[in-house]
Amino acid sequence: MKQIAITECPRDAMQGIVPFIPTEKKIHFLNLLLRVGFDRLDFGSFVSPKAIPQLRDTAEVLAGLDPDAGRETDLLAIIANVRGAQEAATHERVRFLGFPFSVSETFQLRNTNSTREQSLDRVKEIVEICVAKNKVPLVYLSMGFGNLYGDEWNEHIVAEYTEKLYGMGVRHLALADTVGDSTPKKIKQLYPFLSGEFENVEWGIHLHSTPQESQGKIRAALDVGCRRFDTALRGFGGCPMAEDELVGNIATESLIAALSSHGLESKLDREAWKAAMEYSWEVFG
């Protein structure tokens, strides 16, 4: 059976939680996740603590990770500006630097306090930092399936910004709906359109969804050939910069349940996964 690549997103799951999760709990949870065998682990953000207070201890968490755990799992750090990229790039174990570029101008301003054009300039500098420090830039096409704000959206606008990012040297992109705005129909239209136009890009998909709608979205993405997914155990998550009501990530267990019908499998260590699932109650309640 063919395998699927999974990026586990505890950072996305934790960022919207208001009570501060003790650093020791984060470290223990991430060490458990590193033993599961995910392809990537979205572990933290080098962003302003005023913007995301929950993640103000990212550097401390990173320092506490077991150096012998999860060497096959690449660490992904989210950054929102050049300063964050410079800081993240100083850490040897961080492999990917992820930047949220929004197709929606309104959300780009809300999320990174910059316009889309200003953000493209940031991406250019971030790519230069990655090249110099042997890191890999990954850009999320946030609000890739539409937005809440009435900003113009269509597949050609998404393709236009994809082309600009591609021209800067970005070869890892993820379609992200951020607030659960994707539908199976949109996924089946947009994903093959972009992956067909930009064949040299490693495409992934970062979906948010209610539990009731997640299976339809997963099946749609698998049907059109997506083989890289971002997920979170138990479907936690949501972007606090988007709206007050958070819509969680696709649950890792929901994705795993859908794989066999498509002749796919994961390489996850089920015992390690079980241990991480059990401890997640300590982290999230």
Predicted local distance difference test score (pLDDT) of residue 105: 97
Which residues, including other chains, have CB under 8 Å from residue 22's CB and lie 6 or more apart? Answer: none
**The two three-digit tokens of residue 236, written as one number:** 């936690």
CB 69 within 8 A of CB 35: yes
Residue 1 confidence class, pLDDT cut points 50, 70, 90: low
Burial track 191-206 (b if 16+ CB lie within 10 A, e otherwise): beebbeebeebebbbb
CB 260 within 8 A of CB 272: no
13 vs 264: CA distance, rounded Å: 25
Predicted local distance difference test score (pLDDT) of residue 239: 56
Predicted local distance difference test score (pLDDT) of residue 267: 87
pTM: 0.94
| Per-residue pLDDT tens digits for 189-227 | 999 999 999 999 999 999 998 888 999 999 999 999 999
Indicate the CATH number for domain 2-284: 3.20.20.70
Maximal CA-CA distance, the chain: 48
